[in-house]
Amino acid sequence: MHVYRDSPSIHSAQSQAQGSELGELIGRRVQELAEYEEDLSALIKILLLEPSDALTEVDAELGFSLLDRRCDVAESHRDWFELTLVLSDDGFGAVVFVPKHPELDPKLLAYCQLETS
């Protein structure tokens, strides 16, 4: 799992994924949020999961059990699930990008499919 917590790391993640669906998705979130705040660390943290990541690692990073909570926005893209969770009243949130991969934890896959249906 890769976690991007501040503007430089988020922009770097977007640059590294440029030309791919993931780069486009991160770019879209950056563009949307830039209207509200230049410092992205005040608004968002991005979790980019690997197929082998354990749910316990995701839960530890989020500070709660992902499977016990509904997403505020969930989208299914060609190669990725995008899960958005608003974490505070000021609008700070986490966006979790989950790869659509055969080795993905079956519980996480089922959760993503339920949330995006």
- 47-64 pLDDT, tens digit per residue, is 999 999 999 999 999 999
**Tens digits of residue pLDDT in 63-103:** 999 999 999 999 999 999 999 999 999 889 999 999 999 99
Question: Is 0.75 surpassed by the pTM of this model?
Answer: yes
Tokens standing for 12? 């770097």
pLDDT of residue 34: 82
Report the distance separating Cα 74 and Cα 51, nearest Å. Answer: 18
Share of the chain above pLDDT 70, in %: 100
Number of domains in the chain: 1
Tokens 């996480």 belong to 108
Say which range, 14-18, 34-38, 99-103, has the weakest mean pLDDT: 34-38
Q: Is the pLDDT score of 35 beyond 90?
A: no
| Cβ proximity of 62 and 85 under 8 Å | yes
Which domain, by its residues, includes 24?
2-116
By the 8 A CB rule, do 65 and 114 touch? no
Instruction: Report the interhelical angle of 21-34 vs 7-16 (nearest 10°).
Output: 150
- pLDDT (0 to 100) of residue 91: 85
